[in-house]
Amino acid sequence: MLIKPTTDIRSSEITPKDVYLNRRNFLAGLGLSTVAAAGLGMKELLSPSTKALATDKIAGIQKSQFSTTEKITPINDVSHYNNYYEFSTEKEEPAKMAKDFRTRPWSITIDGAVPKKQKWDIDAIMKFAAPEERIYRHRCVEGWSIVVPWVGFSLSELIKRAESLGKAKFVQFTSILDMTQMPGQRQRILDWPYTEGLRMDEAMHPLTLLCFGMYGESLPNQDGAPIRLVVPWKYGFKSAKAIVKISFTDHQPSTTWNEANPHDFGFYSNVNPNVDRYHSQAHERRLGEFRPRPTLMFNGYDQVAGLYSGMDLAKNY
């Protein structure tokens, strides 16, 4: 919507006025309808049978030292302009198509280089640490960006409980596979289920967030409910949504976009204005703004630069 001149904007990319003016009613409506559960015969990737309300308030949120002071992008923009191919390739569609997506019960399988395979309930995971609000910049490889008050805690809290330290070098995240709820998965746009991965030191960095809320409330379905990753110095596709499995390994795991197009979607995918993808990455456009701004190395999160000391980031992208 905002990476084109205004004369080139398609009508389908414009948020309808009635949706914008009735945001609260829309969000409340996400929690009112129910549908019957349906399974796919994959034990670890079963769909849940009920859902959490997108308007559930999260109690006890603490402010984080990692937050930016930049202007926050309005929730209506963030929740109605989504890259979520499991539902649709059109950015305005996931908000409508995910409204009945079921997020309870939900569990995450922990396997790989851990003492034993485990399955943790989402509500237990949410109590691993006090929830923090982190206002992060979030950059998309397509050229647009947002500033969002995510709610969650450092992924390292989960990794410590998995007891994988000293054994694994990488961690892989697998998103849910459920074609009954996610119509985009019925098309071979990508190799489903969606997978992403991080090097262990990236996963352990305090900026890496395991996220279950935003704007003080539970995640809307179209933004990755009930639990997702947020890695603010990497392009948005690295932040896997609706996670159902976390695997620890001694080798670099496959990731969906890297397998689909390794030339444009490297494993690391750090925000780097000097490495072009399918178009220049030198500038970005914030949702709600029309004037482009220069892209910052690591999306402005210089705290992570030491993770890549000695690496050629033009080759390791």
pLDDT at 36: 31
CA atoms within 13 A of residue 282's CA, in its CB half-sphere: 2
pLDDT-derived band at 130 (thresholds 50, 70, 90) equals very high
pLDDT at 313: 95
Mean local confidence (pLDDT), 46-68: 72
Distance CA 88, CA 95 (A): 10
CB under 8 Å to 223, separation ≥6 — which residues?
78, 79, 82, 214, 241
Reported as type and span, the H/E element at residue 19 is helix 17-21
pLDDT at 31 over 60: no
pLDDT at 9 over 90: no
pLDDT in tens, 191-230: 999 999 999 999 999 999 999 999 999 999 999 999 999 9
pLDDT-derived band at 55 (thresholds 50, 70, 90) equals low
> Looking at per-residue confidence, does 11 or 168 come out higher?
168
pLDDT at 6 over 70: no
Tokens of 210: 């395991």
pLDDT in tens, 146-190: 999 999 999 999 999 999 878 899 999 999 999 999 999 999 999
CA atoms within 13 A of residue 191's CA, in its CB half-sphere: 10
> Which domains does the chain possess?
6-308 (3.90.420.10)
Q: Which of 51-55, 73-77, 139-143, 236-240 has the lowest mean pLDDT?
A: 51-55
Dihedral angle at the C-alpha atoms of 133, 134, 135, 140, nearest 10 degrees? -130
Mean local confidence (pLDDT), 119-126: 98
Chain-wide mean pLDDT for the chain? Answer: 86
pLDDT at 44: 34
pLDDT at 167: 82
Burial class (CB in 10 A: 0-12, 13-18, 19+), 151: buried
> Looking at per-residue confidence, does 105 or 37 come out higher?
105
pLDDT in tens, 240-275: 999 999 999 999 999 999 999 999 999 999 999 999
